Structure 1
Amino acid sequence: MNFELKALGLSEAATEKCDLLVLLVAEGFDAGSDPLAAVVARALKAKDFEAQPGKTLELYQLPAVAARRVVLAGVGGGTAKQVHKAVVACASAFKGAGVQEAVVCFAGAARIDAVAAAVQAVGEATYVYTATKPQAKAFALARVTLAVGDKKAVQAAQAAFARGKALAAGVGLAREWANRPANHATPTLLAQAAQALADLPKVQCKVLGPAEVEKLGMGAFMAVARGSHEPLRFIELRYQGGAKSDAPVVLVGKGITFDAGGISLKPAAEMDEMKFDMGGAASVLGVFRALGELQPAINVVGLIPACENLPDGRALKPSDVVTSLHGQTIEILNTDAEGRLVLCDALAYAARFKPAALIDIATLTGACVIALGGVRSGLFANDEALGAALYAAGEAALDPCWRMPLDDDYAEGLKSSFADVANVAGRAAGAVTAAKFLQRFVGDVPWAHLDIAGTAWKSGAAKGGTGRPVSLLVHYLLEREGKVATATPAKSRQRKPAAS
């Protein structure tokens, strides 16, 4: 989809030819004499429309308006979160028959962060999965113009607009690979998707197979993959935007492309959703897609241990002891706690890059879903500055997380009589004990763990990948580089100043 940023006031927007015009209306709207302003004023006065986020009014072939369809969408106070909600509420309009060109126009002042949120929300609202649905109706929307009041506002919003476009692309890629069925998203296919990203500027990719992984000594990762006929892949992505001497941020994404639980077999109900168990890997792909567009002056490494976790005569068994790349031995008490096994080898591998920060992203525990639901991802960090930066990035990105504890007392349950550590510690505080397991393999590097088991996908009628936490991670990386713009309102003649 093509995005364009354009200077359009309400009078100009009325003459803009398009199939759909989405008009973002804030509280305190000041009506002018142009046709669109008059329509908004009448709708507000009649209480057929409210300027609250999520409230919409669809109109058709308005007199003196060039757009075939018009949707009034309330944005409340015009914050990024409110604008995002408003645009997503227009999803059905964007997907309407014959809608090929759309304009999303701010009817008043446009905050800088709201501009980025609007673009990203358009990407979210217009996403359609088609990879294995060849009979599905083709989605027609090809071009979206984001309109702000004047040339000065356009100039002020350029960086935010670019960020929104890159995030829309990155989140879309993450959703796409999370949504693909397991037989269309094998470790090999996931590696091919990563290799395709090497076509982007400053991105390189290297893929290791079973022989290379065995030579490295990744015994825990190899043990998980033993039960599947699909060969494992260890994916290494590099984005080189900074100086060679700059220490990179290393992202590690869990890439279990299907998780049946291994010998500790999961219940059949909703097992199909275990195709989403590579949500962490998908988010790393999405981050690199965004980095390739934004090209920030920073170095980033992405590591993805990808395999399936299936029951087989060769599969890992409860009571087995495996040796990790770090050299620690691990007693397997539950083969369904496999994510931490593939991650621990990847975390140990990350040490060779001497990272400035190490962040792993994983659909790791059902316990985190119980604790936080689908609203916030779980955040664990051994470094206060890193933890605070990721939390702040999540708030700014509308992709929130919540800080969870890492007290040493939580590691007591991981003690084993037959190995250096057990891979599970019982049901109590399961998300925390999983994080404590991973912490054993990171050393003194500033490290954070994002448990996205509750946020990487949705169940029910809206089943599908969310693309989280791509936005959080990209915001963190850009903030680290120092290029995320602060939210400042742009001037507009069409909005009264807020009452003091």
Structure 2
Amino acid sequence: MNVQFSAARRMPARAEVIAHGLTLEDFEGGEDLPTELGRDDLGRLGFEGKAGQVQVVPCGGRLLAAVGLGSATEISTNVLRRSAANLARAVRKRRSVALDLASVAARNGGPAEADGVAAVVEGVELALYRFDYRSSGGARQGDRLGRATMVGSTAAGIRAAMERGSAVADGVILARDLVNEPGGSLTAPKFANRVRRMARDRGLAVKVLDEAAIRRARLGGLLGVNRGSTQPPRFVELTYSPPGRAKGTLAFVGKGLTFDAGGLSIKTGQGMMDMKMDMGGAAAVVGAMSVLPAVAPACRVRAYLPMTDNMLGGDATRPGDVLTIRNGKTIEVLNTDA
């Protein structure tokens, strides 16, 4: 986590940026705005209080930010997440920001403050995401924002909400990192190893099937796609088990095609450009599974992730080949890119 979050009852004196959430009703009403925000000045700059609007103005050696939350009747966690993200982008070159978005939303009949705080944390963290090869979440070159203070309640539930929001953001960042990785470096074995490390760090049960185990399991479809590749396939199973008796079981299945050239039914050059992202389903499942220990659902959750690429090697599956899948059914392949 790159930004350190804390809670305070009042705006801290040393924050470089003071950000106030404003609803449409706040901005259009006759009451004074917070601190030294001027309604007329903001209006001349085009600020209206619409959801996601951010206007930054200098004031006494630091910056004030007006953050639009839209109509008080329509404030949701999505609105707070998007507004916080826009604020983070606007002040990413500053070292610290104090913001009251979640508490303002709660006072205006929006989400409970703890839920709002979690959404704000997610928005700030994800807005600052950049991908590179050095660290999860990117190096954020040129970004300086390192501290964010949530102004409002300082109850234990708020601190727990900040931790929950950070965990969710970390899961999304993990999924983004995996999707952004080139297919030549994120091969099926390397993908499986990264998932294994994540599972052990989070306390999830993990089982990785190599090619021999996949053959014993009779996963003919996965083996058929893999025939044209020099990289062996993997099949990963993840399990989250809640404390105590599980209230049901939920299953996720994520497609882990680390690069899809189309096989012998080859794609066009342009059609291949984004095919490193054909494992986005598996990445999303991995990110979601990584968050489960933090959000602690009462049900058991299992994930199934077949991993390979779809290439054009000398023994690639041909149109007209017949594959036998686990339940004994046969499938005639008419298009290896289908």
The answer for the alignment partner of 1:121 in structure 2 is 123
The answer for the alignment partner of 2:307 in structure 1 is 306
Give the Å deviation of 1:48.
4.5
Q: How does 1:379-418 map onto structure 2 within 5 Å?
A: none
The answer for the alignment partner of 1:130 in structure 2 is 132
Give the Å deviation of 1:218.
0.7
Same amino acid, percent of matched pairs? 31
TM-score normalized with structure 1 length: 0.59
| 1:73 partner amino acid | V
Which one of 65, 69, 86 corresponds to residue 71 of structure 1?
65
The answer for the alignment partner of 1:186 in structure 2 is 187
Specify the SS of the correspondent of 1:196.
Answer: helix
Give the Å deviation of 1:160.
4.7
In structure 2, list runs of 5 or more residues that go unmatched: none
Specify the SS of the correspondent of 1:89.
Answer: helix
Is residue 108 of structure 1 aligned with residue 104 of structure 2? Answer: yes
| 1:197 partner amino acid | M
The answer for the alignment partner of 1:57 in structure 2 is 55
Which one of 4, 14, 17 corresponds to residue 17 of structure 1?
14
**How many residues are aligned here?**
323
| 2:186 partner amino acid | A
- Would the alpha carbon gap of residues 132 and 2 (structure 1) be closer, same or farther in structure 2, given more than 3 Å must change? closer
Specify the SS of the correspondent of 1:183.
Answer: coil
Alpha-carbon RMSD across the aligned residues, in angstroms, is 2.8
More displaced stretch, 227-236 vs 155-164? 155-164
| 1:21 partner amino acid | I
Give the Å deviation of 1:140.
3.6
The answer for the alignment partner of 2:84 in structure 1 is 87
Q: How does 1:3-402 map onto structure 2 within 5 Å?
A: 3-8=4-9, 12-13=10-11, 15-29=12-26, 36-44=34-42, 46=44, 48-60=46-58, 62-63=59-60, 68-77=62-71, 78-96=75-93, 99-106=94-101, 108-110=104-106, 111-112=111-112, 113-131=115-133, 137=141, 139-147=143-151, 149-151=152-154, 154=155, 157=158, 160-243=161-244, 247-337=248-338
Q: Is the 8 A contact 2:254 2:305 kept in 1?
A: yes
Give the Å deviation of 1:155.
5.5
Q: Is the 8 A contact 1:202 1:241 kept in 2?
A: no
| 1:196 partner amino acid | R
TM-score normalized with structure 2 length: 0.85
- Would the alpha carbon gap of residues 327 and 290 (structure 1) be closer, same or farther in structure 2, given more than 3 Å must change? same
Give the Å deviation of 1:132.
6.8
Q: Is the 8 A contact 2:19 2:99 kept in 1?
A: yes
Specify the SS of the correspondent of 1:269.
Answer: helix
Distance 1:92 1:129 in 2: 16
Q: Is the 8 A contact 1:235 1:305 kept in 2?
A: yes
Q: Is the 8 A contact 2:7 2:159 kept in 1?
A: no
Give the Å deviation of 1:261.
0.5
Distance 2:140 2:167 in 1: 26
Q: Is the 8 A contact 1:253 1:282 kept in 2?
A: yes
Distance 2:131 2:218 in 1: 38
- Would the alpha carbon gap of residues 334 and 236 (structure 1) be closer, same or farther in structure 2, given more than 3 Å must change? same
Distance 2:330 2:321 in 1: 10
In structure 1, list runs of 5 or more residues that go unmatched: 338-500
| 2:95 partner amino acid | Q
Distance 1:160 1:42 in 2: 36
Q: Is the 8 A contact 1:242 1:299 kept in 2?
A: no
